[in-house]
Structure 1
């Protein structure tokens, strides 16, 4: 599976699609909060981020104060288009709801898929970066298999480290992923964040053939919870708080994190999502 999964990411190369960053981590690590704040910070700085939601429940829309939308899975019934999945705010933050299980994606007709891939490719090419709120690997491995860049979000909790390491191990062993950016969330200070990264590096260095890169941390800040209650991103509602300042700095640096496992140029994200979903289903037999 390793060689074949790696090859899938190199097929059907195109040159005009923006880099894709998939964020993942253990439950309770604050992955969705981090990726939403980074997307908002990028949009407020004049960039054109496309935030890709793979988590059910329209949580990103609610967190960011955006209208809810149809999910990708619903298009097989409604026969709608990509525009039905897309919502935006006044400063250019675009959120698209691609929530669907692997089975729901593969059941869509080839004709519908061709139309949706074409519509999404035009949208994707008009944005500067994709930020993907990825599902848990056990639920749907495809987004983490195909994204150009992977960002592991850890918190200082021991369970976060355990779950993060377990996911790294599977991504390396089953899907040939080798490079990981590591961002520590909810750390009391720089020293605690560095200690979390050091612990992960020590364990991974002993047992996994992966490259881990520290990219920064978001400090523990109760203002984040307050902003979620208000349904506004912290970088907008409480721009001077420590977490907002950290998210703006991380967003500014995010383009420099781009270092994909493969140098091959890729096809549209949605096209890869379909072809890889089907190929992995063939490989695993379900």
Structure 2
């Protein structure tokens, strides 16, 4: 308990502590909704507004942020978790000065992080805290343990959905799991590939009404990204639409969206800066009773 009290004071930090990075998890219930594309273009848009941006590709088994940027990283997060490389050694540079922490693809062992791996990852990320203004976490789709974990440690959760009924249903499922099992009470909805602004608003109204009625959570409307052939063309060229077609409708909307997000107040709950993630993890394990000898820790 002495150790736990020490860690609690450490996690709270001194008054007047420096500003912490804004940590945003971008997630979805269904794959194929353009989530990674949203992350990549928002990262460029934030960077163009003078923000220091870091992307964590948190789809640890099927990562593809690097593919979208046309980058072939020599090392990935798997090398960090194995103790073979440091975070700085695997980091790669993207367009507009953004930085990317790539992950592996096709590695089944990475689908569920162990407690030790979380500790390694978060301790490494802590060292980057003072170098980052916006920390974007591109989670995998679905409700796996990794997806839930990265959402619960983020300061803000942005759920990406499309007008497809299955995408809307799965977006609700993510909110349901996070709210009922992890007490998350606020979500942000971004509707991608809409045919018009009104379509996005209608989806938001339906989803937020159901979420409020059955889950008791608040859903804020981030906005919508229009369906845009230029965006698809940019993907095929392994570029963001922001850099390849800056005058496209989707590019203009990403720029607007980045400005709007920066103007939104940050939640006062200190759950999302990188340093807190690391310290909170230590605190959680300091208070957790030790398993009997030979027993394993369940996540």
Tell me, yes or no, whether TM beats 0.5. Answer: yes
Look at both structures and tell me which one has the larger radius of gyration over its CA atoms: 2
2:50 corresponding residue in structure 1: 46
Structure-to-structure mapping, 1:1-286, within 5 angstroms:
12-14=11-13, 15-16=17-18, 17-25=20-28, 26-55=30-59, 56-77=61-82, 79-89=84-94, 91-97=96-102, 101=110, 103-108=112-117, 113=120, 117=122, 119-135=124-140, 136-140=142-146, 141-260=148-267, 262-263=269-270, 266=273, 268=275, 271=278, 275=282, 285-286=298-299
Using the TM superposition, give the Cα deviation of residue 192 of structure 1 relative to its aligned residue in structure 2, in angstroms.
0.5
After superposition, the C-alpha distances for 1:99-121 in whole angstroms (9 at most, x for unaligned) are 674754434597xx3xx655532
On the 8 A contact 2:55/2:99 being kept in 1, the answer is yes
Q: Distance in 2 between matches of 1:37 and 1:109?
A: 27
RCO comparison, higher one (Cα < 8 Å, 6+): 1
Q: Distance in 1 between matches of 2:53 and 2:242?
A: 15
- TM-score scaled by length of structure 1: 0.83
For these two proteins, the number of residue pairs brought into alignment is 272
Q: What secondary structure, in the 3-state scheme, does the structure 2 residue paired with 1:134 have?
A: strand
On the 8 A contact 1:20/1:148 being kept in 2, the answer is yes
Judge which range, 79-88 or 12-21, deviates more. Answer: 12-21
Using the TM superposition, give the Cα deviation of residue 142 of structure 1 relative to its aligned residue in structure 2, in angstroms.
1.1
Q: Distance in 1 between matches of 2:187 and 2:79?
A: 33
Q: Distance in 2 between matches of 1:212 and 1:190?
A: 18
- Superposed structure 1 runs of 4+ greater than 4 Å apart: 8-11, 102-105, 107-110, 116-119, 263-267, 272-279
Using the TM superposition, give the Cα deviation of residue 123 of structure 1 relative to its aligned residue in structure 2, in angstroms.
1.8
- TM-score scaled by length of structure 2: 0.80
After superposition, the C-alpha distances for 1:129-186 in whole angstroms (9 at most, x for unaligned) are 1111013332412111110111111110000110000110110011111111111100
CA spacing shift, 1:237–1:173, aligned 2, 3 Å: same
Q: Distance in 2 between matches of 1:67 and 1:241?
A: 27
On the 8 A contact 2:24/2:156 being kept in 1, the answer is yes
On the 8 A contact 1:51/1:94 being kept in 2, the answer is yes
Using the TM superposition, give the Cα deviation of residue 207 of structure 1 relative to its aligned residue in structure 2, in angstroms.
0.4
Judge which range, 36-45 or 266-275, deviates more. Answer: 266-275
CA spacing shift, 1:285–1:104, aligned 2, 3 Å: closer
On the 8 A contact 1:152/1:181 being kept in 2, the answer is yes
Using the TM superposition, give the Cα deviation of residue 83 of structure 1 relative to its aligned residue in structure 2, in angstroms.
1.4
Q: Distance in 1 between matches of 2:9 and 2:139?
A: 20
After superposition, the C-alpha distances for 1:39-95 in whole angstroms (9 at most, x for unaligned) are 011123322111111124441111123332422222344521111221113521111
Judge which range, 179-188 or 121-130, deviates more. Answer: 121-130
CA-based RMSD: 3.1
